[in-house]
């Protein structure tokens, strides 16, 4: 009898602990067949690449997240997330570089420690109709002449972030990344966003300052917004990237996007136009992207995207199809790409 009572007490205590905490496994697998023409350096503009690519509609990922209720409205949480490459099975190995954070949450908002998306990117990038992946994506967050490291500067290591609670539709966030260098400020970052979401209207403003190298400091100002009319949703993004390069001339890029999406049957059609005004080389590039996503279920969809990049003068921007070995078509040349794929979430 005593043993039975002890067993019941252990089970009750275990049940209470489980009720106060949870761990979730989640992920997306997105793989596509892709084709991009005129992919290569100047002089190789007739080269075309084709084959399997990853993350054509949403970034493939695998993650674990958990929350523990500490009582009194306070919660602790963790989030570990890494990218999956469906075309080659992560040949270089799996890691948690998409996100690896621990946090405290409550009525005050949330404080996070670790590697993740920048506060100056996480909200304003959400207005891109192509979710910042695949050949249709808005490319304002490109490297723009700097080495394309650390996910083109949209994530940082050694970062502390604070996100406010929702206050009648208003939210905000701020991030600071420590450089942890023996000299200089390489890797240091500060940025944030303020946003307002109310019914069909969403608008956000973000600012970033990052030390990309020992001589290059980048400021980025982004304004984004969307309005859902019911039958269609319209988006707009206005962005300026400015690099202070020490003794070298300042480098500036103005990027703009306009787009519209509309539900069609069990899916959604998307059309987006982007302009990249590269002041340092006095050249422009125009990009137009058309996509359709058809939902087979709540978790599975098939999709297709067609995109065209029209470079002017010295501009050499190329469409981005991950793991398809694409490159710019050459200065002043144009490029066309197609992706057709399957996306499954779990």
- For 157-212, the pLDDT digits (tens) are 999 999 999 999 999 999 999 988 766 788 899 999 999 999 999 999 999 999 98
Residue 20, in any domain of the structure: no
Task: Count Cα neighbours of 22 within 13 Å in the Cβ-side half-sphere.
Answer: 4
13 occurs within a structural domain = no
- Please indicate, yes or no, if residue 95 is contained in any of the structural domains: yes
DSSP annotation string for 194-243: EEEEETTEEEEEEEEEEE-SSS-EEEEEEEEEEEE-SS-EEEEEEEEEEE
In angstroms, the CA 164 to CA 68 distance is 19
Inside any domain, residue 176: yes
| 8 falls within a domain | no
Q: How large a percentage of the chain has pLDDT more than 90?
A: 83
Residue 100 resides in a domain? yes
- The number of folded domains in the chain is 1
pLDDT tens digits along 115-134: 999 999 999 999 999 999 99
Q: Which of 199, 192, 188, 155 is nearest to 61 (CA)?
A: 155
Structural domain boundaries, residue 131: 25-345
pLDDT digits 0-9 by tens, 230-287? 999 999 999 999 999 998 999 999 999 999 999 999 999 999 999 999 999 999 999 9
| Helices (H), ranges, 96-149 | 119-122
pLDDT given for residue 8 in this prediction = 44
């Amino acid at each position: 009898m005593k043993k039975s009572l002890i067993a019941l007490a252990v089970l009750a205590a275990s049940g209470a602990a489980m009720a106060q905490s949870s761990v979730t496994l989640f992920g997306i697998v997105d793989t596509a067949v892709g084709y991009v023409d005129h992919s290569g350096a100047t002089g190789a503009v007739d080269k075309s690449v084709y084959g399997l690519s990853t993350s054509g509609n949403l970034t493939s990922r695998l993650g674990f997240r958990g929350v523990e209720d500490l009582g009194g409205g306070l919660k602790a949480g963790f989030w570990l997330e890494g990218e999956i490459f469906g075309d080659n099975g992560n040949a270089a190995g799996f890691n948690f570089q998409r996100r690896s954070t621990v946090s405290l949450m409550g009525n005050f908002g949330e404080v996070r420690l670790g590697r993740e998306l920048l506060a100056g990117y996480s909200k304003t990038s959400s207005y891109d109709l192509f979710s910042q992946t695949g050949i249709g994506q808005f490319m304002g967050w490109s490297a723009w002449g700097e080495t394309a490291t650390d996910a083109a500067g949209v994530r940082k290591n050694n970062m502390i972030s604070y996100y406010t609670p929702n206050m009648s539709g208003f939210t905000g966030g701020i991030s600071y990344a420590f450089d942890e260098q023996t000299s200089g400020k390489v890797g240091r970052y500060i940025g944030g966003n303020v946003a307002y979401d109310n019914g069909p209207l969403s608008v956000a403003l973000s600012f970033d300052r990052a030390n990309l190298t020992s001589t290059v400091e980048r400021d980025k100002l982004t304004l984004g917004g969307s309005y859902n009319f019911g039958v269609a949703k319209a988006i707009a993004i206005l962005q300026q990237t400015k690099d202070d390069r020490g003794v070298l001339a300042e480098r500036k890029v103005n990027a703009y996007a306009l787009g519209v999406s509309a539900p069609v049957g069990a899916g959604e059609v998307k059309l987006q136009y982007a302009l990249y005004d590269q002041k340092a080389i006095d050249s422009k590039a125009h990009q137009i992207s058309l996509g359709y996503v058809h939902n087979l279920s709540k978790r599975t969809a098939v999709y297709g995207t067609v995109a065209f990049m029209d470079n002017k003068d010295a501009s050499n921007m190329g469409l981005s199809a991950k793991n398809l070995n694409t490159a710019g078509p050459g200065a002043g040349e144009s490029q066309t790409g197609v992706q057709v794929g399957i996306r499954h979430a779990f």
